[in-house]
Amino acid sequence: PNKITVQTLAEKLGKAPSEVIKFLMMKGVMAAINQEIDFDTASQVAEEYGILLEEEAEEVLEEKMFEEEPDNPEDLVERPPVVVVMGHVDHGKTSLLDAIRESNVTAKEAGGITQHIGASTVEINGKKITFLDTPGHEAFTAMRMRGAQVTDIAILVVAADDGVMPQTIEAINHAKAANVQIIVAVNKIDKPSANPDRVKQELADHGLLVEEWGGDTICVPVSAIAKTNLDTLLEMVLLVAEMAELKANPNKRARGTIIEAQLDKGRGPVATVLVQSGTLKVGDPIVAGSAYGRIRAMMDDKGRRVKKAGPSTPVEILGLSEVPAAGDSFYVAESDKQARHYAQILAERNREQSLRATPNKVSLDDLFSQ
Ligand code: GDP
Ligand code: MG
């Protein structure tokens, strides 16, 4: 139930607080100026003044807390695309991602080791691309269940010697449902048994007509093992990103999505987050699901400590009170107190949702397992 302080009520009614207090007293309610009274009592007072006090639904108030303020167009700047790799098992998703990252690391900082944080950034022609590690299917189901939209582009890996398979079709459907642009990487073209034309035909049968056949699906023949055409693939990603005009406002409190999280023995709850708008900074009060806290430290995907992270940047953060769930949104609050308050609201919502989701059944086992 909603509560309101005497002071706020007086302001809403345009009366002196002392008058409201007097009124309450007459009704047998003793309340100080900054004390909270329940909505029913408040509306009785209002009625005395001939005013109908409308209860602003709590849920509406809460939604407002999490609402993102609209950006001025001049605050928007280009942001890197967020890319996920999808495709049938053994078609080379992991190999391709590794090859892209390795060749990118060795080219720039010899011996540099990419730390596994669930997402990483590569650079080509001075532009960044963010890759999520999570295989497309899992990422999409976990994230979409929570309504999170994090990816811009899906690289659909199809092995040239195997063609379109059940999980390829599933990936196409997922990407289409999520309104994500598909770029096809026909992989394993180093193999003598490779047959890229057959792959293109099968793709066409599933609604993806490649450019050279008059369609608008970009298709790049690659080999993750021989490292063929990887740069071309990345350039195509940048091209698609450019056409999509991906933008975000870096000059505000950050918000984004939890990519993965776990409890670390020494460091406590550790989460990899993707900043989607604003800039995340060390010291920010943050909330993600029922977890909250002040960011104690941030690391980038190369394991380097960073002080801030802008849009489309994945970072690992320390300082949360508990482990949030992958797919949870995170918000930077105005204060520690507000972060804690938001976390309470979100925890309550989670509880309500899980109560609704689980049938209200108690077995004997449950009763005796205390
Ligand atoms: P995933 O299940 O989609 O992640 O596939 P993996 O990356 O694990 O690759 C499956 C198998 O295909 C592994 O044995 C890889 O070495 C092999 N593979 C991946 N890419 C290529 C490629 O470009 N050429 C060849 N010849 N083999 C590849
Ligand atoms: Mg794999």
Distance (Å) of CA 278 to CA 255, 308, 330: 6, 10, 12
The span from the CA of 263 to the CA of 255, in Å, is 22
Q: Which atom belonging to ligand 1 lies closest to the Cα atom of 89?
A: 2
Which atom number of ligand 1 is nearest to the Cα of residue 187?
23
Report yes or no: 139 and 155 within 8 Å, Cβ to Cβ.
no
pLDDT at 198: 97
Cα(193) to ligand 1 centroid in Å equals: 14
- d(CA 222, CA 93) in angstroms, rounded, equals 12
Return the pLDDT at 215. 96
**Cα 139 to averaged position of ligand 2 atoms, centre (Å):** 13
Ligand 1 centre from 152 Cα, in Å? 24
State ipTM. 0.99
- pLDDT in single tens digits along all 370 residues of the chain: 577 888 888 888 888 999 999 989 888 888 888 888 888 888 888 888 877 776 665 555 566 667 777 899 999 999 999 999 999 999 999 999 999 988 765 444 444 455 567 889 999 999 999 998 776 566 566 665 555 678 899 999 999 999 999 999 988 988 888 888 999 999 999 999 999 999 999 999 999 999 999 999 999 999 999 999 999 999 999 999 999 999 999 999 999 999 989 999 999 999 999 999 999 999 999 999 999 999 999 999 988 999 999 999 999 999 999 999 888 899 999 999 989 988 998 888 878 777 665 544 444 444 443 3
Name the residue of 95, 168, 223 to mutate for ligand 1: max ligand atoms within 8 A of Cβ: 95
Polymer length of the chain: 370
Q: Which residue has the tokens 């995170």?
A: 330
- Strand-pairing partners, residue 30, are none
- Is 98 touching ligand 1 by the criterion CB < 6 Å? no
pTM: 0.79
What pLDDT does 339 receive? 92
Q: What's residue 74's pLDDT? A: 93
Q: Does ligand 1 come within 6 angstroms of the Cβ of 223?
A: yes
What angle do the packed helices 136-145 and 166-177 form, to 10 degrees? 40
Cβ count near 207 (within 10 Å): 12
Closest ligand to the CA of 159: 1
CA distance 104 to 33: 63
Q: What is the pLDDT of residue 145?
A: 56
pLDDT the model gives residue 66 = 72
Q: Decide whether any atom of ligand 1 lies within 6 Å of the 190 Cβ.
A: yes
